[in-house]
Each structure stands twice: as structure tokens, then as C-alpha cells.
Structure 1
């Protein structure tokens, strides 16, 4: 670094010395003016470089050193931030994986609840179906018994009507008188027991 700075300063001095056009006409101490000016320019440049090196070397070196340390610290902080970000990313990926597992667990839980509810609804529907069938059978049995009773009553009524018709055709006045007398005789027997 130091050699590079010295080389750059020497090149700068050569450019400054070569740029003076007024140096071509006279002589000083028997030396051409251009050579004399060139020598003083080099001397001035050497003094300038010496002063720069003497007074600016330490501040410049310390500045560059501090700057390098600052940049190193910046890189260290950036690396620490990068590590922290990587850890955060890994943590978030882990949390996302856990979240996926949790979502799957919740989905399975609600699927289980849905299955249980479905089974309850089907069981209730089966009980309701059985109850409706039993009620229908009981109603059909009642209707059948009632129809049987009506049928018997109609059969009895028809039998009584048929018997009545036959009796009317077969019983004569004489038979009616005998039946009436027998009935009255039975009433007389029943009356003294009731008294």
C-alpha cells in the first residue's frame, strides 16, 4: 500500500513538472533555466512527499486501519444477521411443518366428529324407521281388529235377520201362542223369587 502511494505521488510530481512552458529561455548559475526549475520541482516534490509521509502516514494508516475494521465489523454484523435470518427461516419452516401437522390433526378430528354424528343420525333414523313400522303395524292391527268386529257384527246382524226371516216363515200362530205362554210361565216363576 505504501509503495503504491509513493509511486502515485512520484508520477503526479513528474506530470506537474512537465507542465511548465515558461522554463525554456534563461539560465541560473550556469544551468539552464529549464533544468534548474526541474531540479527545484523535484526537490519541492520530495519535500512535499516527505511532509506527507511524516505527518499524514500515521493518521492515514490509522484511518485506513479503522476503516478496514469498521468494514470487517459491518461484514460480521451482516453475517450475524444472515445467521439470525437463517435461524428464523428454519424456525418458521419448523412452525409451518407443525402447522401442517396441526391442520391435518384438526381435519382428522372433525372428520371423526362428522363420522360420529353421521352414525348418530343413521342410528336415530333407524330407530325412527322402526318406530314408524311398529306404529304402522299397531295401526294396521287395530284397523284389522276393528274390521273383524264390524264384520262379525254384520255377520251376526245378517244371521239374526236371516234367522228372523226363517222363523217368521216357519212359526205359526199356534207356535207363537205356545212361546208366549212359556215365556209368561217363566216370568211367573222368576217373580216370587224376586219378592
Structure 2
């Protein structure tokens, strides 16, 4: 209601101004004064400005208001879209950070598991090497014992051969005829004892 009243007052002033502007040339001509033209042009400029302002206010207020309202809605909608995009990007960044943290935890667990498996494998290898070395030492001991036994046997045989050879060389020089008779008697007594034992 107030807007309609102010518009009516505005149109009244425009109408009065136009009437004055129409009357000015006749008033100016009536006085035969050549200086009326600059004043008339100035007044008509103001009248034109007021008419233009009135036309803009009368016919352009709603479209301008609608345009500004549409621009405001567009800006608000664009801001909402930007805010949504910002939230989405922040969500993706947070998800990437979370995934990076999880990957770091998994990498740490994998590293610890690999170290643990490496330690276990190392212990197995050390234990296997210890068992193999113990077996090799045992086998070496057995081989050495066998070789020692073989060497002892060979040495005994060599000593026996040497003793027999020495005996065959020395006994003929040492043993006399009485020793031979005595050894023969001992041999015969042994044979006699064996024969008695078989007979009984």
C-alpha cells in the first residue's frame, strides 16, 4: 500500500515537471530573450532523467528484483555445490590419510612378521648346521677310530712279522739241542694230556 502511494506521488511530480517543461518555451519566447535556450536544455535533461528513472522504477523494478533474486539463488546454489565438493574432497583426503595410516600399520606388521620369520629360519639353519656338524664330527670320529684300529691291526701284524722274522733269525743262534729236547718233551706231554682227556 505504501509502495503504491509513493509511486503515485512520484508520477504526480513527473507530470508537473513535464507540464512546466512544455510551458517553458512559450514563456521564454514571450520575453524575446535569446538566453532561454541553455536553461531550457538543462531542464529538459533533468526531465528526461526523471522520466528514465520513473520508467526504470515502474517497469524495471520487478525484472531487476527477479534478476538479483535469481543471481542470489545461483550464487547460493553454486556456494552449496562448492561446499559439497569441498566436503567430498575433504572426505577423500581423510580417506587417503586413513588408508595411508592403515598401509603404514600393515607395512610395519609385515616387516615384523618377515623379521620374525627370518629369525626363525636363521635358528632353523643354525640348528640344522649344528646337527649336521655334530653328525659330521661323529662320522669323522668313527672313521678315525676305524683308521686307528686298522693302523693298530696293521702295526700288530707288522710287529708280529718283525718279531717272527727276528725270532727266525735269532732263535737258531740262541736255542740249543737241550732246549729243543725240552720243548719236544713239553709238546709231547701236552699231546698226552689231550689224549687222556679225550679218552675219559
The TM-score with structure 2 as length reference comes to 0.69
Return the alpha-carbon distance in structure 1 between the equivalents of residues 112 and 94 of structure 2. Answer: 27
Q: Compared with structure 1, are the counterparts of its residues 28 and 111 closer, same or farther at alpha carbon in structure 2 (3 Å cutoff)?
A: farther
Post-superposition shift, 1:173?
Answer: 7.5
The equivalent residue for 2:159 is: 155
Q: Compared with structure 1, are the counterparts of its residues 128 and 29 closer, same or farther at alpha carbon in structure 2 (3 Å cutoff)?
A: farther
Partner of 1:146: helix, strand, or coil?
A: helix
Return the alpha-carbon distance in structure 1 between the equivalents of residues 37 and 52 of structure 2. Answer: 22
Partner of 1:117: helix, strand, or coil?
A: helix
Query: Would you say 1:106 and 2:110 are equivalent positions?
Result: yes
The equivalent residue for 2:79 is: 75
Matched positions, count: 156
In structure 2, stretches of 5+ residues that fail to align are 1-27, 192-200
CA deviation map 1:93-119 (0-9, x unaligned) = 111111100000110111111111101
Post-superposition shift, 1:53?
Answer: 1.4
In structure 1, stretches of 5+ residues that fail to align are 1-26, 187-195
The CA RMSD over aligned residues, in Å, is: 2.6
What is the aligned counterpart of 2:101 among 90, 97, 100? Answer: 97
What is the aligned counterpart of 2:92 among 85, 88, 96? Answer: 88
Greater RCO between the two (CA within 8 Å, min separation 6)?
2
